[in-house]
Each structure stands twice: as structure tokens, then as C-alpha cells.
Amino acid sequence: MIYLDNAATTQPASCLQTLFAQYCTESWHNPSAMYLPAVQAEQKLDAARTLLKNIIHAQEAIFTSCGTEGSNTVIFNGWQKRGSTKRHFITSAYEHPCVYECFRQLEQQGHRVDFVKAGKSGIISPEAVAELVCEDTALVAIMHVNNETGAVNDICAIADAVKVKNPQTLFYADGVQAFLRVPFDMMASKVDYYTASAHKVHGLKGTGILFFKKGTPLKAYLLGGGQENTLRSGTENTFGILAFAEAAHDFLQNHAQKLAHMAQLKHMLCTTLMQAKGAYCITPECSAPHILNMAFEGMRGEVLLHLLEKDGICIATGSACSSKKRSFRVHESVGLSPALAECAVRFSFCPDNTPEEIQYTAQKTIAALQKFQGFIRR
């Protein structure tokens, strides 16, 4: 099988097998307990937190169950409430559903929300966001890397522009697709909150992290025993957290070469597929190295996905998190027609993919297009 859906999830790093054996015999204790093995488990958890914080120079961090939980925590509990007064919020029209749907919920609660569109450039401009900031803007949320198109937003410039307009406005960036793949220094930026997810970087599903700056008005979203410095109750997923740190450490080995390798594979596939009839590259020039989003006129994305699946190739039509309620919101926000958006597919890479896999994928994609393009019933 050729797996090219690494934006959906990644294969766990092989080093986690040894870690799991160690966990099962030595580190399985509840880190909130008070006897020595539990204290040692807590120390390992804190070491994992420090390692992950240091990657982006974050001041504080709490562990969560996933990127969705982190986003919900910030959007509902990461800004200053003023009694029953309704506030103003800004986000983009192409955010991941875990962000977009939260702001729709805030709208239903009576708050004002502006949704910025990227337009054909595929990128959210700092000026477009800053223009909407007002005295009552509580929170701005703009994703770092779009999970479908791979577009990289300059969140540092956007946060700067927001803070110039209103220093009291908080800024959140969903970093799930960017973490370890796009450079980011949180300390040097004006970004207040940033999230990442373990299973996107060869860790395990069920573990995420919410980075934040000291002094932010973050309140607990899950209540209970007061774990994570009272900000996220629930017994910590110790192995998931240790695996997150181990996978991140492993990913950082020969890091520059891995990023360059993925970018090369992406360029190779895009260059070949652009020769196909009706080919359209949705991914903008400023994009993450691991995501390539394309459309082929006359070939529905879902059909191409299943044709390639028969050849042992796994790709996607969009976000796996919204596959149960498919929409073309992201592609329409970057100016694609509904007809072309329906033809979109996403290829996403990891360091273990090979040029031979890309050549085979290109060959089979072009063969499928030549045989079925324009003949599929809508």
C-alpha cells in the first residue's frame, strides 16, 4: 500500500514499540498519585511537556485529547467575558471544522463573528483581518496551515496587525498541520494560543497539546480532579503523552532533510500531474511541504480516490474529520467553483514516502484520468 493521506493521520513511529514495552512494565502508574513510581511517571510527563514546549519556544502548555479539544478550550474559554455582554470574534472561512463550528456556536449564542475569506491567493492577509478588528474583538483565530490546501498563513504578521489595532484582543492559531513542518517561534510572536496533535506527527491518536502564553485568560473546559494545573481535568494519557514527545524527538532527527524530501516529492507529483487534461493546482506557492491539493475537471474527487484505492494508493478528497458531512466550504472560500471543488483531491506526504511511490501514483492517476475523465455520471 502507498499511503498518501498523512494530513489525516500518520503511521506511528517504530520507536514507540520499545517505549510501549517500557511503559507497560515501569511507567503505567497514575501520575497524580503520591508514591514513588507515580511521581516518576509525573516527572516523565513533565519532561515530555518541556520537550514539546521547547520546539516552538512556548511558555506554558497543557495536554489534551486532540486538536479539537484544544480549539474548543480556547474558543469557548480563552477570552475575557464581560458578564452577559456579547463580544466580537474573527476567524477564517476555511478553518478546520473544530474551529469553524465553534464560532458558528458563538454566533448562535448572540455573539458577532466575521469570517474572512482567503480568495484566490489561498492566503489570509493580515490587512483583511486587522480591518475587522474593533474595540470589542475578544478573539481572532486563523489557522497556521490549511489542512486541505496546505496554504501557510503568516500568523505572526496577522497577530501583529491584530494587536496594533487592539492590544487586548487574543490570538489563536490552529497549528495541527504546521507543527514540526513549518517554522514557528511562539515566544518571538504575538500569538497567544497554539495547538498541535500527536497523531499528525507519527504519535498516537488521543493526545494533543495546547500551548499558551503566561497571563492569558484561559479557564478550564473540562472540570474534575484539577489535573494539568487545574486547566484540564482527567487522568493524563501518560503513554500517549510520552509517545508524542518520543515521536516529535524522532521527527526532529535530520529534520531539514525530511522537510526537503517531502517538498521534493510534492513538487515531483505536482509537476507530473499538471500535464494531465484539466489539471488545476489548488495548493498555493506558499504552502507546507507535505500537502498537495489538486483538481481534475471532469473527474469527481471521490471517484478518483476509489480508482486509486484499487491500485493500492490511499489519498483523500478533503479533511477526514468532515468526511461524514462533506462540504466544499474550504475550496469555495479560495474562489473555486462548486463543480471544480467537487473534483478536488489531496495528496499528503511523510518522510518515509519514496520517489518510486510518487512515480507510481502519478502513472496510475494519469491512467485513471485518461480512461474515465469526463465519463463519470454526476
Query: In the chain, where are the structural domains located?
Result: 2-10+255-372, 15-251
SS3 of the chain: helix, strand, coil, percent, to 5 = 40, 15, 45
Residues 267, 48: Cα–Cα separation, whole Å: 34
Contact 293, 330 (CB under 8 A): no
Q: Residue 264 is which amino acid? A: Q
Q: Which fold has domain 2-10+255-372?
A: Aspartate Aminotransferase, domain 1 (3.90.1150)
pLDDT of residue 83: 84
Three-state secondary structure of 293-312? EEEECCCCHHHHHHHHHHCC
pLDDT of residue 319: 58
Identify the residue whose cell numbers are 487574543: 170
Question: Is 224 exposed, middle or buried (CB count within 10 Å of its CB: 0-12, 13-18, 19+)?
Answer: exposed
The stretches of the chain forming alpha helices (DSSP H) are 15-26, 36-56, 67-77, 97-108, 126-130, 155-165, 238-251, 255-273, 301-310, 329-333, 338-341, 355-372
Residues 219, 189: Cα–Cα separation, whole Å: 22
pTM as predicted:
0.95
Query: Could you list the active site residues?
Result: 321
For 333-363, what is each residue's pLDDT tens digit? 888 999 999 999 999 999 999 999 999 999 9
pLDDT of residue 325: 55
pLDDT of residue 135: 96
Same fold, 2-10+255-372 and 15-251: no
pLDDT of residue 82: 82
Q: Residue 37 is which amino acid? A: P
pLDDT of residue 376: 54
Q: Strand pairing partners for 345?
A: 294
pLDDT of residue 377: 52
pLDDT of residue 84: 85
User: Which stretches of the chain score pLDDT less than 70?
Assistant: 319-327, 375-378
Residues 17, 250: Cα–Cα separation, whole Å: 13
Q: Which fold has domain 15-251?
A: Aspartate Aminotransferase; domain 2 (3.40.640)
Q: Residue 41 is which amino acid? A: A
